[in-house]
Structure 1
Amino acid sequence: MKNTLLILVLTFIIASCEPFYDSSIKNNSSIILEFNRNTLEEAWDGRPYMPFLQTYALSEGSKIIYFDSTNLVSKYEVLPNSYFILEHGQGIKPNYDLFNKMTIISDDTLSLNGIKGIESSFKQVDKYQWQLTFK
């Protein structure tokens, strides 16, 4: 019993020391995300992930306009001077593996394909914060 308790305490201490990161988009535009079905199915291991996708990244300053459950595509509206938190979690940096494609629509349109295309567009602005500013 003591060993189990010790292991749990040590696990908690080690896990709680890991930093949290976030990756956000600052703009006044619409964002279309195409999610990676294979990554989702592997991560959710047979559990339903549609409720997660229907509320993905909703926060004050952004709202979902539509969600296509067949193609796993969501369109969001980002209000002026607001942030859209694309990814956040515990660890060192975002990996963007949930997404196949991201399109930002404003006066100009920016289409980003795959993890590398998305990752290369975000600039590290702090030790654990990445941001894409689009006007």
Structure 2
Amino acid sequence: LIPIMNGDVIDYDEQRTGLRREGMYAGINSLVTKPAISLAQAAFLWILQANGYDPLLPKGLQTAQAENGILLAWMLIPAILLTLSWIVMRWYPLAGKQWEKIKEQLAIIHDEKERLALQKLQAKMTD
């Protein structure tokens, strides 16, 4: 969802400021995403360790607690986080009729920018 939402946020920012700042938003997204991925992986391994997972045991010989830790880290925690995300998304402001009006305004602005750019290009070609 985040890449889709980034497009909406960039469009909303353009509507408010008149500037297109995709590069800035992509940089901030990377700045947040990369550490978040590292933390998620560390949390997964910590949960396995806390539940007694032994990577040296042959397949199928983990303790019941270790198997529960795997299920907790692999299914339950992501399900809880996904549910929380869904709840938060119910209040996502960039949707509905008002957002559609803003998108229509942006389409007009983009058409005008394209028209002006083509005029400048044609003027340069005739000089």
For the aligned pair, the TM-score class normalised by the smaller chain equals: under 0.3
Between the two structures, name the one with larger relative contact order (CA 8 Å, sep ≥ 6): 1
Higher strand share: 1
State the TM-score, normalizing by the size of structure 2. Answer: 0.26
Q: So what's the TM-score if we normalise by structure 1?
A: 0.25
Q: Give 1 or 2: higher helix fraction.
A: 2
The structure that has the greater radius of gyration is 2
